[in-house]
Amino acid sequence: MQCHRHADKTLDHCSVISETPAGMGFGDAAVVAASLSNAPLPPPNALTPSGDVIIPVTFDGGAELQNSKPTPADRIITNPDWISKPSGASLMRYFPDVAHRANTGGQVRMACLVTAAGAMDGCRIVSETPEGFGFGAASLAVAKLFKMRPRMVNGEPVTGGVVVIPLGFGASASKYVSAPVFAATPTPAEVAAAFPKGAARSEVGRVVLSCGVTPLGGLWPCQVATESPPGRGFGEAAKSLVSSFKLDASSYEQVGGISQVTLPILLYAPGAELIDPITKPVWTRMIDPKTVQSLFPAKAATAGLKAGKGTVDCILDHAGHLTQCKSVDEEPADEGFGEAIIRVAGALAINPWTTQGRPVDGAHIRLPMVLTLSPDAQASNTK
């Protein structure tokens, strides 16, 4: 067989050159054994032009790998009893960025030692197709999501056994979201601090990043998709803010396998924060209709009114909550609808990052609302 040999003497990406007798599984066993072994520096005539090493393997009652420590064939687990495996959505969160941009899928075989707890340890890549797109590294990161029932000796779980895990990464199988909902975002002060030194204070940088999504909702890696004005450092400034973002968990889990998002970022000089009113909010927290009914003004219900309306003006905090709300108008007047709508607004929240690319901190939002008394509530008020 032919393997790639690393400086630390480990072997991976092995392939069978010849196998005798064929079709009996000796080739696969040799490849797995090599991937979990260390090999000394081979003789010059064992090296290929690419620097790979040619290794003969002989099986005689057990795996005997020439010039290395063998992995006995009876330690290879052929029918693993999995307790947990990554879902397709979880797997796609590790999809390599370079492969995503190239719209390329891949196949990997990974060999791992099984611990007494059933976890994967010391994993090595047996084969990776195609190479150079990061599927091997992605598979090693995915290994922690596997767990199987360990080997038992005298009724006790023990470390031992090797399992070969095949993984398939489908091309473009992930979802791309252009308006993600965030649980955490940079503050206005952080955005201002990132303003590039080479840009004029009067300039506003407009950057759009294309980012991958980590298993915990972080953004990485990110590439600059568009940058205006160019050549002022706004792209790198925007990328410096990426660590402060975290997707809302319910948002990225519901879309099923999201692995790429579009992230707009506006960059402004300190003291020039953009706080235009929010006119098209993305609501992230609503209020239960039954709670709204409970807030219908008692004064209005007693007077026989079945509906009323009003508008409140609120200031958004960093988490997107509506605060410091004040009644702007109400109809009919003096029946409590303004105060009721203020209480409704206090239970709402919007996405803390706007679709234009800035935090919502300090921005005003006007909320018009109509409150209607349900027939059931009307009936209860007449008793």
Domain tally for the chain?
A: 4
Between 225 and 360, the more confident residue is 360
Please give the pLDDT value at position 315: 97
Residue 3 has what pLDDT?
74
CA distance 221 to 345: 37
* pLDDT confidence tier of residue 309, bands split at 50, 70 and 90: very high
My answer on whether 149 and 186 are in the same domain is no
Highest mean pLDDT among 11-25, 126-140, 168-182, 324-338: 324-338
Is 304 in the same domain as 358? yes
CA–CA distance from 286 to each of 279, 351, 365 (Å)? 17, 12, 15
For residue 74, what pLDDT band results from cuts at 50, 70 and 90? very low
Give pLDDT tens digits for 77-99.
777 888 998 877 677 778 787 77
Residue 101: both structure tokens together: 């941009």
Mean pLDDT of 41-55: 55
Residues 73 and 86 in one domain: no
- Regarding whether 303 and 248 lie in a shared domain, the answer is no
Q: Is residue 37 part of a domain?
A: yes
The arithmetic mean of pLDDT across residues 369-377, rounded, is 81
Q: Report if residue 274 sits inside a domain.
A: no
The neighbouring-strand residues paired with 124 are 111
Mean pLDDT of 125-148: 88
Which residue, 54, 77, 100, sits at the end of a domain?
Answer: 77
Average pLDDT over all residues of the chain = 80
- Locate all alpha helices (DSSP H) within 93-219, ordered by sequence: 97-101, 135-142, 188-193
pLDDT reading at 291 higher than 80 = yes
Query: What pLDDT does residue 22 have?
Result: 65
In a domain, 272, yes or no: no
Confidence grade of residue 50 (pLDDT, cut at 50, 70, 90): low
List the domain range (segments joined by +) for residue 189. 175-267
Quick one: 50 and 114 in the same domain?
no
Are 372 and 298 within one domain?
Answer: yes
Q: How far apart are CA 37 and CA 109, in angstroms?
A: 16
Q: Distance of CA 311 to CAs 9, 208, 370, 380, Å?
A: 71, 34, 9, 27
**Is the pLDDT confidence value at 58 over 50?**
yes
Q: What is the mean pLDDT of residues 357-367?
A: 95
Q: What is the CATH number of the domain that holds 254?
A: 3.30.2420.10
Residues 179 and 239 placed together within one structural domain of the fold? yes
Same domain, 122 and 156: yes
Residue 276 lies in a domain: no
Domain assignment present for residue 255? The answer is: yes
In this predicted structure, what is the pLDDT of residue 66?
39
Domain-embedded: residue 367: yes
pTM exceeds cut of 0.75: no
Residues 150 and 206 in one domain: no
Whether residues 47 and 25 share a domain: the answer is yes
Q: Cα(215)–Cα(3) distance, rounded to whole angstroms?
A: 32
Give pLDDT, residue 71. Answer: 42
- Domain endpoint, select from 114, 134, 169: 169
- Same domain? For 63 and 94 the reply is no
Q: How far apart are CA 6 and CA 324, in angstroms?
A: 62
Quick check: is 64 in a domain? Answer: yes
pLDDT beyond 70 at 41: no
- Return the pLDDT at 24: 59
The better pLDDT of the pair 4, 248 is held by 248
Tell me what pLDDT residue 252 has: 54
Q: Is 251 part of any domain?
A: yes
Q: Among the three residues 117, 136, 169, which one is the final residue of a domain in this structure? A: 169
Per-residue model confidence as pLDDT tens digits over 240-261? 999 999 998 765 554 445 567 8
* pLDDT computed for residue 67 by the predictor: 38
Is the pLDDT at 364 greater than 70, yes or no? yes
| Domain match, 204 and 128 both | no
